[in-house]
Structures are given as C-alpha cells and as structure tokens.
Structure 1
Amino acid sequence: RVTDNSVNDFAFLGRFFTIGANRIGHIFFWNNSDGDDEIYHAQSNEPLSEGLEEVAPVSPVTLSVPSILSSNSGISYSLPESGSIALKVYDASGSLVKTLVNGLHNAGQYNVSWNGITDAGSKATSGVYFFRIQTGNTSVSAKTILK
C-alpha cells in the first residue's frame, strides 16, 4: 500500500495513475526486476485538464497453489497482458524439478495440474516445493508441500 496525503491510501499493483486534490496527477510505478521492491512516484506541477480521469491499475500476475499438494492438484495463474511466461517447480534446494508452462500466452486466467512427475520422468519425493511464474520483469512464487 502507498499513502499520499493528497490522494489517500490505495493498493499499488504494477502501475497506477490517480488524480488527487486540486486535480494534481500522481503516477506510481513498481519495479522488482532486481529482486528488491522499489516504488517510484511522480506528480504533475499543474492541475490536469478537465475530462482526464483516472486509469485503472494493471492487474498483477497471480499464482495460486494449494498449501498441500496431492497428485494432479490444480494450480491457477492469471496474466494481465499477453506475453512469454514460464511456470516452473523447484525443490527446497532450489533445483529445477519440472517446467509446467513455457511459451507465449494471452492475457487471462489459466489452470494447470502437476502429477508429481519430474522433467526427468521420475516421481518427485514428498517435501517442500516452490512454484515460480515469470513473465517479463515480474516473478511470483508460491510454496507447497507435496505428499
């Protein structure tokens, strides 16, 4: 969340533009391309013209994984815009176990399942696993336990 005295409190998701008190425009941009969250803010020096209204924020990339994964559990993700994505599974040591998705996708919501079989064709052992979806400069991770 970002708080600005003239615009109130709002959630910050990717990019956000709002018109605050006295029609002063505010733009916020979020960047985590190097792994650290950075939030930038700029505002107009003059009031914006009438007729210019707020632009809705871009929805973030989301990833939903059950906390306990059984065979063929559903994994869902959403993409705010079309582009190249990769959805991969890593073990607790950080080693790649399975590539579930790798390619171009349109914006939208998707569901995939993982049957616990690794890229090498063997059954993954029980334990902690991490799912990571990457698209452009955005990366989202989720942890699960494979039974």
Structure 2
Amino acid sequence: VLEDIAGKVVTTEGEIPAAKGIEPNAPNPFNASILIRFQLSAAGSVRVRIYNALGQVMCDLVEGEYAAGHYAVSWDGRIRNGAEAASGMYFYVLETEQGIWPRRMLFLRRYLLQLRKGGGRL
C-alpha cells in the first residue's frame, strides 16, 4: 500500500521490504514539485525536513506518528514563510527512531529552466 500524506491510498503488489529509509526522489533536478518517497518497516515517529546548503531548515514536510508502510509526499519548492525557495542544492532528511537518511536535490526555478531551453545566458 502506498499512502501519501494527503491520505490518497494506492495498493501495490508484493510485501513491504524489511529495509527502511528514503527512496530516490523524482524528478531531480526539479522546478515545480518533487515527490519524496520513504518506507518504514515499523511504526514510529517520523520527520522529513528540507535543508538548504547552509544546513538551515527551510521546510518541515512531515512530522508525526506513522504505521509501517510506504509513503510519498511532495514539496512544491516553498519554504516556511510561503515564499518560493531560491534555485540551488537542497537536502531532504528522513528522521525516524531507526535512523537518519539524507538525500540531495537540485531546485531550478522556472525562469532559469526557460533561459536554458531558449539558449539564453544565465
């Protein structure tokens, strides 16, 4: 069963693997939103945070108690105050009672992608 934080449930074939942690994000780099998937082999406290390259917390995506299973949450590139994050490297970190799993992602604001596609200089 794959359940996103908004409560949508999609069933999938097979057993939940014994492994736990965070899965590769997609797409990467991204410009509108990115899907972050993680799995838990046991119930417990979960937190997923977004950090900038300086280690500052930009956004708290997930915080609470979760059952064992697969989950997915999307980040729209907005930070705590609602503003759009600057283009650059960000890290998302899954924290559970079993461990901490970091991953990196590259956020490119829409106008930068348009310049690249149009042959403009950055």
Same-fold call, TM cutoff 0.5: yes
2:23 is aligned, of 63, 88, 94, to 63
Could you state the TM-score of these two structures normalised by the residue count of structure 1?
0.58
Q: Which runs of 5+ in 2 are unaligned?
A: 1-16, 109-122
Q: Is the 8 A contact 1:131 1:142 kept in 2?
A: yes
Superposed, which structure 2 residues align to 1:110-129 within 5 Å? 110-129=71-90
Residue in 2 that maps onto 1:4? none
Work out the CA distance in 2 between the residues paired with 1:62 and 1:127: 21
Structure 2 residue aligned with 1:91: 52
By relative contact order (CA 8 Å, sep 6+), the higher-ranking structure is 2
**Alpha-carbon distance in 1 for matches of 2:81, 2:55:** 16
Determine the C-alpha separation between the residues in 1 that align with 2:24 and 2:43.
19
Q: CA deviation at 1:144?
A: 0.6
Bigger fraction of residues in strand:
1
| Counterpart residue type for residue 71 of structure 2 | Y
| Cα deviation 1:93-141 (Å, max 9, x = unaligned) | 0000000000001111111101111011111000000000000140000
From 77, 82, 106, give the equivalent of 2:43. 82
| 2:73 maps to 1:104 | no
Question: In 2, Cα distance between the equivalents of 1:101 and 1:87?
Answer: 5
Q: CA RMSD in A?
A: 1.5
Structure 1: gaps (5+ residues): 1-56
* TM-score when normalising by structure 2: 0.69
Matched with 1:73 is 34
**Among candidates 125, 136, 146, match of residue 97 of structure 2:** 136
Please give the alpha-carbon distance, in whole angstroms, between the structure 2 residues aligned to 1:88 and 1:134. 8
For 2:70 and 2:107, locate their aligned partners in 1 and report how far apart those are by CA, in whole Å: 24
**What is the 5 A alignment of 1:28-67?**
58-66=18-26, 67=28
The separation in 1 between residues aligned to 2:21 and 2:104, in whole angstroms, is 16
**Percent identity over the alignment?**
27
Partner letter of residue 91 of structure 1?
Answer: N
2:87 and 2:60 map into 1 onto residues whose CA distance is: 18
Q: What is the number of equivalent residue pairs in this alignment?
A: 91
